A and B are shown apart, each in its own frame.
Chain A
Amino acid sequence: MPTRELFGKTIEFDDDGHLKNFSDWNEEIAKELAKEEGIAELTARHWLVINYMRREFPRLGDAPTLRKLTKESGVDTKELYELFPKGPMKKAAKISGLPKPKGCI
Chain B
Amino acid sequence: MSGQNNDIGKVSIIISRGSLDGVYPGLILANGARMEGFEANLFFTFFGLDAIIEKRMDKLSISTVGNAALRLPWGQKMPTWLGMLPGMASFATWMMKNEMEKLDIPPVREFLQIIKDSGAGIYACKLAMDMFHLKREDLWSGVDDILTVGDFYQISTGGLVLFT
Contacts and interface: CB of A to CB of B under 8 A. Distances in A.
Interface stretch (A4-12, A26-34, A41-49, A63-71): A63-71
A88 B32 CA distance: 11
Given A16-B1, A68-B104, A81 B117 contact: yes
A89 B117 contact: no
B83 interface: no
Given A16-B2, A67-B106, A90 B118 contact: no
Contact of A104 (B28, B113, B114): B28
Contacts of A86: 37
Interface residues of A, number: 20
Interface size class of B (residues with CB under 8 A): 10 to 19
Nearest to A82: B119
Interface string B138-163: 00000000000000000000000000
A88 B35 contact: yes
A89 B118 CA distance: 12
Nearest to A101: B35
B31 interface: yes
A87 B114 contact: no
A80 to B, nearest CB: 9
B1 A76 contact: no
B36 interface: yes
18 contacts: A17-B2, A66-B114, A67-B106, A67-B110, A78-B118, A81-B34, A81-B118, A86-B37, A87-B35, A87-B36, A90-B35, A90-B36, A103-B103, A104-B32, A105-B28, A105-B31, A105-B103, A105-B105
Interface of B: 1-2, 28, 31-32, 34-37, 103-106, 110, 113-114, 117-119
